[in-house]
Amino acid sequence: MKTIKGPAIFLAQFLGDTAPFNSLDSIAGWVASLGFKGVQIPTWDKRVFDLEKAATSQAYCDNFLHTLNYHGLVPTELSTHLQGQLVAVHPAYDEMFDGFAPESVRGNPKARQAWAVEQMMMAAQASKNLGLNAHATFSGALLWPYLYPWPQRPAGLVENGFAELAKRWLPILDAFDKAGVDVCYEIHPGEDLHDGATFERFLKAVNNHPRCNILFDPSHFVLQQLDYLAFIDRYHDRIKMFHVKDAEFNPSAQQGVYGGYESWVDRAGRFRSLGDGQVDFKQIFSKFAAYDYAGWAVLEWECCLKHPEVGAAEGAPFIQNHIIKVTERAFDDFAKSGIDEAKNRKILGL
């Protein structure tokens, strides 16, 4: 068995224009002071990371690692959530997702997609240059507007959608394979990979590609009312990343899982800071220990009520207290009988 690495923190939700949130050195000092040991890096924010430089310059990567090491930190993974989203965008979302891309490709879906693919290719090389073995991203979505089967979906629509999604991702998966890095898709509403069934469809479409893996975040399963513990049992061999994020689901006479038109505070399903929601983290950490999960436990803070700095300060000790230092021996080793094979055969009457 393996002991989970952590605690770590995803920086995306904390970056800002004022210190200590506006540079790698200052935010690294801040998260280290809270007790974090690793940081997950958003690659779209040049205040902390330049993806192009990281993909083309080992010296840049060495300096990046040096800055983190000065504060006692290591990078856990890079993230291309925003760029991965743009690998596959349904036209209904063109206007909203244009904001994830540079101005030069906005209003041009084909150019925007090409830019996103190029970003993913750079992320593969940058991860390799940093010595990382896993990468966080979104799958994007071509089928999300047709999630609910009304009007009735035309025959073959879903199959065509996943075939096209796989066609777009296969070259990227091959590039990550060449770099020795797993692509971990966050199973997330709004993505074509939003539950176990859709992940299995995609995995089949990419020919069970060895680099096609999962970023497990139980909060999204709470909001969908999926069994997140059984999910670990079924997919543990493909789970290579873990976002530690809490959530709660409180259905009412007014709304259930489709309460998405309400504000975050007023939804039946909403994200919470660690320990304030309904996720059974004791069982999650126990299952990961039993299944030899070798990655990091990374706080992703998203809460509709609590201040982010409070959530971060509470998050490090919360994760640390849930990490199970796995045992190196059985609890009943003191009662070993010392029987050898010959005696075993005698006991069995052989």
DSSP secondary structure code for residue 4 in this structure: P
- DSSP for 118-180, please give it: HHHHHHHHHHHHTT--EEEE---BSSGGG-S--SPPPTTHHHHHHHHHHHHHHHHHHHHHHHT
| Backbone φ and ψ of 11, nearest 5° | -80, -15
Please report, rounded to a whole number, the percentage of residues in the chain having pLDDT higher than 70: 99
Is pLDDT above 90 for 330? no
Q: Which two tokens stand for residue 153?
A: 């979906």
pLDDT band of residue 339 (cuts 50, 70, 90) is: confident
Which pLDDT value is given to residue 329? 76
Give me the residue label for tokens 């991203």: 137
pLDDT in tens, 303-317: 999 999 999 999 999
Look over the chain and give the mean of its residue pLDDT values, rounded to a whole number.
96
pLDDT in tens, 62-106: 999 999 999 999 999 999 999 999 999 999 999 999 999 999 999
| Backbone φ and ψ of 241, nearest 5° | -145, 155
Q: Which of 282, 222, 217 is nearest to 243 (CA)?
A: 217
pLDDT in tens, 166-178: 999 999 999 999 9
77/267 Cα distance (integer angstroms): 31
| CA-to-CA separations, 27 to 11, 15, 23, 61, in angstroms, rounded | 8, 8, 6, 18
Total domain count for the chain? 1
pLDDT in tens, 36-56: 999 999 999 999 999 999 999
The residue type of 24 is L
Q: What CATH number has the domain bearing residue 274?
A: 3.20.20.150
pLDDT in tens, 5-40: 999 999 999 999 999 999 999 999 999 999 999 999
205/85 Cα distance (integer angstroms): 18
Containing domain of residue 251, as a range? 5-347
Which pLDDT value is given to residue 110? 98
pLDDT band of residue 347 (cuts 50, 70, 90) is: confident
Q: What is the mean pLDDT of residues 139-149?
A: 97
223/276 Cα distance (integer angstroms): 15
Which pLDDT value is given to residue 335? 67
pLDDT in tens, 183-199: 999 999 999 999 999 99
pTM of the model: 0.95
Query: CB under 8 Å to 283, separation ≥6 — which residues?
Result: 229
pLDDT band of residue 334 (cuts 50, 70, 90) is: low
